Amino acid sequence: MPISFAFDGDDVIWTQQFISSTVYLDTYAIREISESTELTTRFAEAIKRKNGTWLLAPLSMGEFALFEDSRHCALAETLLAKVVPHIYLFETKPLSEEGDGGLSKRSLPRPATRALDWFSRRFCQVSSLPNVFQGMFQLVHERREEMVESLDGAALPIKATFERCRQFESYRANAKAARPGDGRSRQYVIAGELSRDFVLDLNATITRNEALDFMHAVDAVDYCDLVLLDKAWERRVNGLRKRIAEAGIDMPIARCFSKRNNGIEGFLDAIERWPEASVSA
């Protein structure tokens, strides 16, 4: 199974496997699916039937601190419980200039070691995998102020970097001239392409939420098979896919969906039809 905990003497050992189909939901997508009993059941059953993996970051869970209504956390809790153990907890790592194997090889997500060690200690107390993660979203809600500070700490430096660097004409010129396959690592290609809107348009607003979405999108598009983002990021990912095709290079990236054009249905259908759905990716 993708995630598990087991006793080894007095210790608890955690293991994770990143098994296709690998999927990612941004914060809006978690809300959209979790607020429907039908969609929650369908998503969970599809992941389990295909032995797939939901890529989940503690940072994504932390974004639920931005919602005042605790109901959103309760519904997300139900969704998570239905999918466990088919999850993979990861943390964002600094962009790599070298990459792990060129443009054609997807990077592997870095395990969220601190979180997994914490869950291991919790497993010692509850001795039940489903119960290990029970109450996690509620805990985020209870520690809203602390979590918002963490979100600011992650997002505001990215926002500041974009706003500073795009003031330089040479930086904008390099960004405009960049192409997939120009010698940059896989992660730098993805990050550069997904940030073009922010870099080339000096009037583009960069909010904290957009900085967080950027972090999520770069990881999800690099690591996963199927992702559900909002429509602006779907447009950017499709733009990247088009530029990869025009460059004639082998660089697989996630197939992206949004709420637009019945995209949630398309996303769930793609999980259910995996691996046939990968052919059209």
Residue 135: what pLDDT? 86
Residue 227: what pLDDT? 97
Locate tokens 């259910």: which residue? Answer: 272
Confidence of residue 52 (pLDDT cuts 50, 70, 90): very high
Predicted TM-score (pTM) of this structure: 0.93
Residue 59: what pLDDT? 80
Instruction: Tell me: pLDDT of 126 over 80.
Output: yes
Calculate mean pLDDT across residues 84-94: 90
Instruction: Tell me: pLDDT of 39 over 80.
Output: yes
For 93-105, how does the pLDDT look when each residue is reduced to its tens digit (9 = 90+)?
777 655 555 899 8
Amino acid at 12: V
Confidence of residue 9 (pLDDT cuts 50, 70, 90): confident
Confidence of residue 247 (pLDDT cuts 50, 70, 90): very high
Amino acid at 169: E
H or E stretch covering 73: helix 71-83
66 vs 28: CA distance, rounded Å? 12
Which residue has better confidence, 94 or 111? Answer: 111
Residue 276: what pLDDT? 81
Name every residue whose Cβ is closer than 8 Å to that of residue 176 and which is 6 or more positions away in sequence: 196, 200
Q: In this structure, what token pair is assigned to residue 122?
A: 């919790």
Residue 101: what pLDDT? 55
Instruction: Tell me: pLDDT of 30 over 60.
Output: yes
Amino acid at 55: L
Locate tokens 């969220």: which residue? Answer: 112
Residue 129: what pLDDT? 85
217 vs 190: CA distance, rounded Å? 9
- 106 burial class (0-12, 13-18, 19+ CB within 10 angstroms)? buried
Residue 281: what pLDDT? 54
